[in-house]
Amino acid sequence: RGARLCGAVILVYLIESVRRRAMLQCGILPGGAVTVTTHPAAPPKKPRDLRLDFFRGLAMAIILIAHTPTNGWALWIPARFGFSDATEIFVFCSGFASSLAFGATFATHGWWIGAARIAHRVWQVYWAHIGVFIVTAALLMAIDLNGWGLEGRRYVAEPYVVPIFEQTGPYLIGLLTLRYTPGLFDILPMYLVILAMTPLVMALHRAGGGAAVAAFVGVNWLGANLAGYAFVNGVDGWTPGEASALHDAAMWLGAQAQFLNFPASPSGTGTWFFNPFGWQLVFFTGFAFGMGWLRPPPVSRGLVIAAALALLISVPFAWFRIHQGFWIPADWAVTQGIAAVREALAPLWWKQWQGAFRYAHFMALAYLAWVVVGPRGVVLTQDLPVRLRPARRRARMAAAAALALVVTAPYGLAMEIKAASPALDAWLMQTVPILSPALIGWLSLAHFAALVTLLWNAAPPAALRWLTGPLWRASTPVVRKVGSQSLAVFMTSIPLSQVNGLILDLIGRDIFRFAAVNVFGVAVLVATAYLVGWMKAQPWRKPAAAHPARRSVAPTPAE
């Protein structure tokens, strides 16, 4: 009886212990009091950066213009006047955007969840790349099969996607394994490889801080450039001792780093045009600024002047009209000197491995753009700070510009005059002096400058205030919208660029048709951005709007 009593007491004790533990887990204290467990609030989501979306939107438009075949507007994009181009804008802003999108995930949910989110994004970009290639290749083949383009022109060869149709097996596998990345389809593979490096960078920063990240990024960039140097100079046939010791050292180191050059075709010929280990320098620079690992430089007159000088000095070495002798006589010593220096310093400005001069040029351009738009991009939300000159001075400027416009018209509009009025063209050929092609080029540039000056100074002040006020404030949100949907817009721009090229083939190329086709293309990008934004908002999940009660009519039985 004593044993049974002892066992009953122990059983009651165990039951009571389990009950009390369950009550505590539910937040109920003995006596009926209830506890409320609070969890630390998640950090507020960072607002979208106006500057980020604005410059990405500009980059999307520039990329479309640059990819459109034989596009006259492509001769005047920023890439023609400096080493860097819209690709740097896209990659830098993507790095900055990635810090805003994924940095908080690593901070609040830990490394594994952050890495999983990065993997999900890589998966999305991978299938975006596959989809863009298939759609564009099918479009080009449809143009050829249906005879939509110019007679005798093979559109699948521009860009060169012929192997996917003639050697489908190996090249389809190469497409899916990223071992086939032809021109026009090489940006997204680079982007997804760099994205995949982000978790490692986050782990390095946690372990060793900014110094560890800088060492990782710097070693990768240097290795990629050495690999590129060895590849360009024929590493397979290299024999030590034929050149300087520095060249031999670079060739040997580059030979050890050839694994950083990914093959661009199943045959093993060529390498990715955008080497991810070189371009990650641009991406992680933007990422570091977004994460706060790098502080923005101060706004100072000295830095502004230095950045502007860096951009100006690069113009003759980057602009083909100068270093190739189009607008300066090719036999001049200055022209030959510029071309020789450009050739000797090619590893410092090349695009494929992100040369040092190219990176420095972009950072100077980015600094000036950052200064111009003001703190947090305030200039993008208000009227442009433009001060109009006195009326008399504007009238004199307009008159001088009009005179310059007339004098330079036979040279600046030579092609347009010939197409519109052959008789006028013949008369001008007999009347105006025949100048050298180099001088005609500068006169064409002067004609454009005179046109802009005339329009600005002849316009009524009210029109200029509207241009720099309401129109500017209305247009910047549109550009930002394009930048906020950059992946979808970029995917659209690739096949769209080929459609625009086809349209130009069919209607011809002159100043007016170039304008019409490029404006059409940009309008399609804008429409894409708004459509994708609307779809992402999932309007079908929102409560339906209330509608006035409709009168119901009872059905009439059939007679």
What gap in Å lies between CA 222 and CA 226, rounded to an integer?
6
pLDDT in tens, 70-97: 999 999 998 999 999 999 999 999 999 9
Angle at alpha carbon of residue 499, lines to 495 and 501, rounded to 5°: 115
In a domain, 36, yes or no: no
pTM, to two decimals: 0.86
What gap in Å lies between CA 58 and CA 65, rounded to an integer?
11
In a domain, 243, yes or no: yes
Q: Which residues of 282-291 are buried (b: 16+ CB within 10 A; e: fewer)?
A: bbbbbbbbbb
pLDDT in tens, 27-62: 555 555 545 444 445 555 566 788 999 999 999 999
Q: What is the CA radius of gyration of the chain?
A: 31
Residue 34 three-state SS? strand
Query: What is the tally of structural domains in the chain?
Result: 2
pLDDT the model gives residue 66 = 96
pLDDT in tens, 504-522: 999 999 888 999 999 999 9
- Within this chain, do residues 366 and 406 fall inside the same structural domain, yes or no? no
What gap in Å lies between CA 549 and CA 540, rounded to an integer?
21
**Taking all residues of the chain, what is their mean pLDDT, rounded to a whole number?**
88
What gap in Å lies between CA 540 and CA 486, rounded to an integer?
24
In a domain, 211, yes or no: yes
What gap in Å lies between CA 117 and CA 330, rounded to an integer?
54
Least confident of 44-58, 336-350, 395-409, 447-461: 44-58
- Within this chain, do residues 349 and 404 fall inside the same structural domain, yes or no? no
- Within this chain, do residues 422 and 341 fall inside the same structural domain, yes or no? no
Confidence tier at 436 by pLDDT (50, 70, 90): confident
- Within this chain, do residues 313 and 451 fall inside the same structural domain, yes or no? no
Written as one letter, the residue type at 510 is D
Please, are residues 277 and 220 in contact by the beta-carbon 8 Å criterion? Answer: yes
- Within this chain, do residues 371 and 493 fall inside the same structural domain, yes or no? no
Return the bridge partners of 160, or none.
157
Percentage of the chain modeled with pLDDT above 70: 89
In a domain, 45, yes or no: no
In a domain, 417, yes or no: yes
In a domain, 5, yes or no: no
Helices and strands, number each (H, E), in the chain: 22, 0
- Within this chain, do residues 418 and 344 fall inside the same structural domain, yes or no? no
- Within this chain, do residues 372 and 413 fall inside the same structural domain, yes or no? no
Confidence tier at 559 by pLDDT (50, 70, 90): very low
Return the bridge partners of 470, or none.
none
- Within this chain, do residues 144 and 292 fall inside the same structural domain, yes or no? yes
Token representation of residue 498: 């080929």
In a domain, 468, yes or no: yes
Please, are residues 194 and 276 in contact by the beta-carbon 8 Å criterion? Answer: yes
- Within this chain, do residues 370 and 258 fall inside the same structural domain, yes or no? yes
- Within this chain, do residues 201 and 260 fall inside the same structural domain, yes or no? yes
pLDDT the model gives residue 328 = 82
Nearest to 360 by CA among 282, 450, 287, 286: 282
pLDDT (mean) for 19-25:
55
In a domain, 383, yes or no: no
- Within this chain, do residues 164 and 301 fall inside the same structural domain, yes or no? yes
Please, are residues 273 and 182 in contact by the beta-carbon 8 Å criterion? Answer: no
pLDDT in tens, 268-277: 888 999 999 9
pLDDT in tens, 469-480: 999 999 999 999
Residue 59 CA, chain-centre distance (Å), reads 5
- Within this chain, do residues 327 and 426 fall inside the same structural domain, yes or no? no
What gap in Å lies between CA 431 and CA 47, rounded to an integer?
62
Please, are residues 111 and 199 in contact by the beta-carbon 8 Å criterion? Answer: yes
Please, are residues 451 and 415 in contact by the beta-carbon 8 Å criterion? Answer: no
- Print the domain residue range for 360: 77-377
pLDDT the model gives residue 9 = 47
Q: Terminal CA-to-CA distance of the chain, rounded, Å?
A: 92
Phi/psi of residue 316, nearest 5 degrees: -65, -25
Token representation of residue 278: 């070189």
User: Which of 320, 353, 377 is the C-terminal boundary of a domain?
Assistant: 377
